[in-house]
Amino acid sequence: MKKEDELVLKVTKEIVVKFIEVGRLSVNSFQEVWDNIYRSVRNTLKEDNSND
């Protein structure tokens, strides 16, 4: 696994954990929320790398 992929997974996990802690995420919507957050984090990382 590439370093960037590992970073995306870690950041996504932290965001999802926070959403669970504050009650903003239910089991029924987990997959959709995970996918959206993962895509957003990945795209942000790619955009940031392309600006270097």
Please, is 11 exposed, middle or buried when counting C-beta atoms within 10 Å of its C-beta (0-12, 13-18, 19+)?
Answer: middle
Tokens of 48: 């940031």
The model's pTM: 0.84
Each residue's pLDDT, cut to its tens digit, for the chain (52 residues) gives 799 999 999 999 999 999 999 999 988 999 999 999 999 999 999 887 787 6
Each domain of the chain, given as residue ranges in start order, spans 3-50
Q: What is the pLDDT of residue 52?
A: 65
Q: Is the dihedral of CA 11, 16, 19, 20 positive or negative?
A: negative
Angstrom distance (rounded) from CA 32 to CA 49: 26
